[in-house]
A and B are shown apart, each in its own frame.
Chain A
Amino acid sequence: MSQDPDVHFAAQRPARVRVQAPADAAVDLQVPSAEHSAENFYVRQLIRSQLRLAVSVASGIIVLLVGITVLLSYWPQISQITLARIPLPWWILGLGVYPLILIAGVLYNISAVRNEKRYRSIAR
């Protein structure tokens, strides 16, 4: 018996609409506190150091590859140097470049982790 008024009320009430904010909406409302801007500074440092690392490894590889192209183009006689009768450029391009790319990747990976560890030890 006592349920009746509740049911009556519930029927009158408009259906509930779940209001959800977009995942990032709260960010705009934050008041920039001193603590927050300090943390932001460390984040920017982290991004800068990771970018510097990535750009230096990338330019190393690009300079290497373009350098080989230019070398082969302006010094075609290099093909007369042979190893087991196969011209040197084939050894360089067919086999030699790959270990260098792999080493660059491994070294980058180690350094990137180090940058992140340093960030973690400074920020909090």
Chain B
Amino acid sequence: MMAVFSLLTLLVVCLATVLVAVHGLRLSRTTSDFYVASRTVRPWWNASAIGGEYLSAASFLGVAGLIVVSGQSGLWFPIGYTAGYLMLLLFVAAPLRRSQAYTLPDFAQIRFASLPLRKLTTYLVVLICLLYIVPQMHGAALTLSIATGLPGWVGPLIVAAVVCLTVVSGGMRSVTFVQAFQYWLKLAALVIPTVLLLVRIIPGNDPGMRVQQLSERMGDGGSLGLYETISIIIALLFGTLGLPHVLVRFYTNPTGQAARSTTVIVLGLLSIFYIWPVALGVLGRLYTPEHHAPGNADATVLLLPQWIFDGWAADVLTAVVVGGAFAAFLSTTSGLVVSLAGAVSQEFFAGTVRGFRISTVIATVAPLLVAALTSSLALAGAIGNVFAFTASTICPLLLLGIWWRQLTSIGAMAGMLTGAVSCALALLVSGLLAESESVLAALLRQPAAWSVPLAFVVTVLVSLTTAKRVPRNVDRILERLHVPERSTLSD
């Protein structure tokens, strides 16, 4: 019965996504519509779309799973995901919008007119998007096989097919509507089960015993050490502002100030959202059966209804959660696919609509294959690693490119390469080593606390030694980034 309900909601979510996309198709006519929604998207729509795009498998399933596994330490992930948007607001939102760059490689080109830097940025964007899509596919595999018992490859295949269809048919304009709709869907899919679970539990038969356990099971400080926690905070804070699929969104704001207002609304939407996975994580910590395999903590949100309710109520609530989870996979993956396809089509197909469509197919099939060949890590942890990588590579380019006039293209490239190599090597080595409590193991497991500063230092030092290569038009470029548009004068 549960399988039937779950497949039904899955079908509804996929159909609704495709329908909204087709509705967008009638509105999207020009190449510009296709890529950037012609910049006519209102802040509320845009903020919902950003929220919808950003709240991925890691937020929907991973946060609660992490709280079940590592207790109090898990609370830092949603805080970091939210505070990362604050950093984006402070340092990137308005200037990036005013730079008129559509993608990160565009920004690199506008700022430095350097082809090698543009290419390096493109390759990093492609890598980051791939690393970010694969966990979404793993989440889809886990969700579908838990809810319906279907084999693991069906979930990712559904996600890839729906995303390919929506992106190819409508481009950015329809994706905006789809994602805005999916934010609210995801929120509802967590709020409804959480409220019903709490209503069921609070006047339940065994409040005394459970509440006793409450402080017992929440008493310890969590499983992460001080260094690792700080490193995660740094990775999430500085990783968010380099995420390619998030940055593309800012171009759809009409002005720099609109970009800022949108980001403030996003901060509110994220704060409202993260209450619920945290609450579900706490419930999961209380109600996870003793014999439940710890490896499947990411499924907590999906399994909680069955642990607390029985009969049709459990089936319906599980189906609601499955619908929300697929909304999360679909929206994040479509955002990433738009960026990935955008980067690939600009690089290899001269930015035509046809090239964009071919690139979209490539951008969904490639991660599908990677996901099939790799096994799932803890979702929130896997995404946390991508944030560490972004913070060590894209973040120095963006922050220094926007705020420091002495930055040179050679300096930016040196910093990005240093950050990419050191962060990736550390993560690979720690993946190969056995679990260990030593300081070195922690340094490798969570490299952001040293790899991000290292990337910044290398960028600055190399820029200073190549000071002659500071672009001659740097003043004019920085003026474009920071001076408010004329239209904001009137209000």
Contacts and interface: CB of A to CB of B under 8 A. Distances in A.
B179 to A, nearest CB: 21
Nearest to A99: B271
Nearest to A62: B237
Name the prevailing secondary structure of the B interface residues. helix
A80 B218 CA distance: 10
A9 to B, nearest CB: 34
A24 B477 contact: yes
B89 A105 contact: yes
Interface in B79-111: 79, 82-83, 85-87, 89-91, 94, 110
B218 A87 contact: yes
Contact of B489 (A40, A105, A120): A120
B226 A101 contact: no
B13 to A, nearest CB: 27
Interface of B: 72, 75-76, 79, 82-83, 85-87, 89-91, 94, 110, 113, 211, 214-215, 218-221, 225-226, 229-230, 233, 237, 257, 260-261, 263-264, 267-268, 271, 274-275, 278-279, 282, 403, 472-473, 475-479, 482-484, 488-489
Contacts of A57: 86, 90
Nearest to B473: A27
Interface in A43-60: 43, 46-47, 50-51, 54, 57-58
Contacts of B403: 47, 51
Contacts of B86: 57-58, 61, 101, 104-105, 108
A43 B478 contact: yes
A27 to B, nearest CB: 4
Given A24-B477, A43-B478, A98-B274, A66 B230 contact: yes
B220 A79 contact: yes
A101 B478 contact: no
Interface of A is mostly: helix
B271 A22 contact: no
Interface in A70-121: 70, 72-73, 76, 79-80, 82, 85-87, 89-90, 93-95, 97-99, 101-102, 104-106, 108-109, 112-113, 116, 119-120
Given A57-B90, A101-B267, A105-B264, A28 B472 contact: yes
Contacts of B83: 61, 65, 97, 101
Nearest to B278: A94
Contacts of B75: 90, 93-94
Interface residues of A, number: 48
Given A43-B483, A65-B233, A90-B218, A58 B267 contact: no
Given A50-B482, A106-B264, A27 B89 contact: no
Q: Which 6 pairs, one residue from A and one from B, show the smallest C-beta to C-beta distance?
A: A93-B75, A98-B271, A54-B90, A27-B473, A116-B484, A73-B226
A50 B89 CA distance: 12
B482 A102 contact: no
B54 to A, nearest CB: 15
A46 B264 CA distance: 21
Contacts of A120: 484, 489
A108 B489 contact: no
A72 B278 CA distance: 19
Contacts of A95: 275, 278
B407 to A, nearest CB: 13
A109 B261 contact: yes
A82 B215 contact: yes
A118 B403 CA distance: 19
B482 A47 contact: yes
Contacts of A43: 475, 478-479, 482-483
A119 B219 contact: no
Nearest to A112: B260
A47 B279 CA distance: 42
B294 to A, nearest CB: 21
B287 to A, nearest CB: 15
A82 B212 CA distance: 12
B72 A93 contact: yes
Contacts of B82: 98, 101
A122 B219 CA distance: 57
Contacts of A65: 79, 83, 233, 237
Given A61-B83, A86-B214, A24 B473 contact: yes
A24 B260 contact: no
Given A98-B82, A120-B489, A108 B89 contact: yes
Contact of B475 (A40, A66, A97): A40
Nearest to B484: A116
Contacts of B221: 72-73, 76, 79, 89
A28 B473 contact: yes
Given A66-B233, A73-B225, A86-B282, 11 more contacts: A24-B473, A28-B473, A40-B475, A40-B479, A61-B83, A65-B233, A69-B233, A90-B282, A95-B275, A98-B275, A116-B257
Contacts of A40: 475, 479
